[in-house]
Structure formats: structure tokens, C-alpha cells
Amino acid sequence: MSDLPRRAVTRSAKLASLPLGFAGRTALGVGKRTLGKPAEAVAMEIQQRTAEQLFKVLGELKGGAMKLGQMLSIFEAALPPEIAGPYRATLTKLQEAAPPLPAAAVHKVLAEGLGEDWRDEFESFDDKPAAAASIGQVHRAVWKDGRAVAVKVQYPGAGKALISDFNQLARLGKLFGVLMPGLDVKSMLAELKERVIEELDYTIEADSQSRMRAGFPADDPDFYIPEVVAQAGNVLVTEWIDGTPLSKIISTGSAEERDHAALLYCRFLLSGPKRAGMLHGDPHPGNFRILADGRLGVLDFGAVDRIPEDFQHRMGRLLRIGTLDDIDQIEAALRDEEFIREGVDIDTESLQMFLAPITEPFINETFKFNREWLRDMAAKVTDLRPTNVVRQLNLPPQYVIVHRVLSAGTGVLCQLECEIPARAESLKWVPGFAEDGDDSPIDAADTELAG
């Protein structure tokens, strides 16, 4: 970790540079307007340069700043490709380039968690990590009972880095507000900080994985959740599972294999809240495997959103209303859930154009997810002009992880270039989506399809 800017003073200085840069650009913009440059052109230029600096600094930092950048896809989606592209590349490079912990440091974490005689718990332990992430790394080992296991070890100091970053980022609300003036940044940052701090606690992750496994038991015909073998301190030991990574299905799978994987992937994300009361919050392809028996194996339960039953119904109702043609009813529902904040005016025609592709997969019997459709969808939000409706929308704290899963999950389905019955899956698994009522599009054909 020595090549990362870990010292608090250095990290704080980088984050503190953001509002200073914005202030300078704002002053420059006032000068240009005085000289006769159109106000909208000046505003767009300020926003673009602000975004460039914001994502450059976030991309240079590990810990909370980088995780924030990864999670806030709503910002990335609202940016032109020339900004978002290099930003994504920077994050990917940082994640892949994270230097592994030396074996001695790994052994120290294991001793602190499992005790000085930690080696007695294993038949064998591979000092070379099998995978690395933003706050820890995974080693392959054989447990004392002969089972192949994955041993997750957290980087020393990762918690302090995360908390330090979020404390700094909480002071940047006005800067984020330049890009998305309709957003309640303070509340969203508070929610993100709480979630990321939870991710540091392997006790919570072990509990989440066990609860998810209870909702998807070992004999489930569609899914396999590895069993938690042991957890102590900054160490988490779970069953090791082999299979074909979802990323390989994306790159080399046949149409049949891609459709099969996509259906299970969609079903798992949609059914998690109903079956286990939880939503897997990191739907990256690296967390999924197609097992030899055709089931979908699921990994990494550090980012999990607990979804109460009443909130499941609220989400389902909102999605159902979104499939209707009544834009006034859709606007009212969005205001009820605070996606449109009090006092914010929305152009309903622009809102309807923006929402149409988002709800499209849940209207017809089947839907073809592909990259072309995703590009068309992205084109509706990659416009920084003040008139773009997406800039007026809010992301309520309780929907932060839900939004992340919806946007990232949709992206993965489009990478799979698949055709699946997403509506039927929603009818079966999402409470509130299939309820009858004056605003419900459900009919007898839908009921038969859901069954």
C-alpha cells in the first residue's frame, strides 16, 4: 500500500483542493459572461471542468474517496464520455494495481483474528492472494476439515482511510451540487459513509452471507451461496467455489449460455429482498460464477442492503407506476419517494422521455438487453445543460444501494447481450409490482406469465 497516498495530511490536501478549484472556475466564468459569452455555455464549461477535477482527485485516492466514486454512478452517467471514460479507466487501474500485502503482514492479521496458532485451523494456506479488492484480499486455503476455503483478509489501516475520506467528502456538498442541483448530497453522503463503514466489519458481512444462504439454501435449484466457515476480527473464511466467471460468459458465451446466466442473474437480484430480506449491493460480474451444474454461485456480501417488507412494496409500486403512461401519476409517485425534492419544478415531457427506457424492460413479455440500447439510454443523461431533467432529480438515501444495483445490474445484462422475461421475474419476485389497483397494468396474461 506504500504507493498510495495514505498519509492523512496528503489525502486531506487533495480533497481540500476541490472547492478551491471550483471557486476559481466560478470567478473565471463570471468574467467570461461579462465579456459576452453565453451564460449557458459558460455554465457548461464550469460544470465540465468541475467534473474533471472532482473525478481526477477521487481517482487518485484509495479508500472511501474511490469507493464513493465507484458507487455514485449517477454522477458518472450524467457526464460526457470524454470525462467518464478516463475516470472509469483510472478506477480500474487503481483497483487492479493495488499491491498485495506481504505474507508477513497477512500472517499478522490472521494471528490477530484466529490466534497465534492460526495455522492449526488449516491443512494448507496459499500466501499468494487469489484476488485483491479496495479494502482487502482473498487467499485460497484448505480448512482443517478438508474443505477448500476462501480467506478474506482486510488491509491494515483500511478503516481509518475510509473514514478519513468520508469526513473530508462530507464538506464538498456544494461542489457535487454544481453537477446535480436537485440532489440532497449531505444525506446521500451520510448513507454512503454508514454503508462503507459496515463493509469494514466482517462480522456484519458474515451475518449477511449466512442470512442470504438461509434464503437461498444449499439445495436451491438456481443458486449457490457459499457457507461461512469462520469469522474473527479482520478475517472471514468461507467455502471456496469454482465455476465459470460471469465475465467469461460475457466475452465468450453462446447466446444460450448468456441468456441462461442473465436470467439467473436478474432473478437473484430481484428475488433477494423477498427471499432473504436483503439486496446484494455489488452486482459486479466478478462476484458471480456459473457452476458446473448450471447454478449461479454468488460471492462477496460486504455490500448488502437490508430491505424491510414495507420498503419492498414501495419499490415495487414505484416500478409498477413507472410502466404506466400517466406521467402525472409517475411524477406524484416520484415526489412521494422524494426523487423530486420539495420546491423543485420538473418538465413532465422531459421526465417522461427520460424514464421511458428505464422502465421499458418491465413492460413487454421479454426484453433484449444490448449495448446499443444502453448507449441510447445513456445519451439521455450525458448532457450537462441546465435544462436536462436528470440534473433536477434526487437520490433518496434509502435508494442509494438500490440505484447502484439497478444501474450496474442493467449494465451487466446489456454486456450479456441477452433476451429475458424481466417483467415476469418482477411479477413473481417484487412485492407491489403485481398488485391490482386503479394504477396497475397487470392483467390475466401477466398473472399466467408470472406463475
* Confidence at residue 197, expressed as pLDDT on a 0 to 100 scale: 82
Give the DSSP per-residue string, 373-437: HHHHHHHTT---STT-GGGG----GGGHHHHHHHHHHHHHHHHTT-EE-HHHHHHHHSTTTS--S
Amino acid, single-letter form, for residue 229? V
Compute the mean pLDDT over every residue in the chain, rounded to the nearest whole number.
78
Segment 357-387, tens digit of pLDDT: 778 899 999 999 998 888 777 666 555 556 6
- Percent of the chain having pLDDT more than 70? 68
Mean pLDDT of 13-26: 44
* Confidence at residue 182, expressed as pLDDT on a 0 to 100 scale: 75
Give the pLDDT band of residue 190 (cuts 50, 70, 90): confident
Segment 378-416, tens digit of pLDDT: 666 555 556 678 778 888 989 988 988 888 898 899 999
Amino acid, single-letter form, for residue 400? V
Long-range contacts of 128-136 (CB under 8 A, 24+ apart): 128/100, 129/100, 129/101, 131/286, 132/95, 132/96, 132/98, 132/100, 133/95, 133/98, 134/62, 134/63, 134/66, 134/67, 134/70, 134/95, 134/98, 135/63, 135/162, 135/199, 135/200, 136/234
- Percent of the chain having pLDDT more than 90? 45
Give the pLDDT band of residue 418 (cuts 50, 70, 90): very high
* Confidence at residue 246, expressed as pLDDT on a 0 to 100 scale: 93
Give the pLDDT band of residue 439 (cuts 50, 70, 90): very low
* Confidence at residue 375, expressed as pLDDT on a 0 to 100 scale: 76
- Most trustworthy range by pLDDT among 73-77, 156-160, 180-184, 287-291: 287-291
- Residues 17, 57 contacting (CB under 8 angstroms): yes
Segment 252-265, tens digit of pLDDT: 999 999 999 999 99
Cα 277 to Cα 225, 323, 424, distances in angstroms:
15, 25, 20
* Confidence at residue 365, expressed as pLDDT on a 0 to 100 scale: 93
* Confidence at residue 401, expressed as pLDDT on a 0 to 100 scale: 87
Nearest-Å Rg of the Cα atoms of the chain is 23
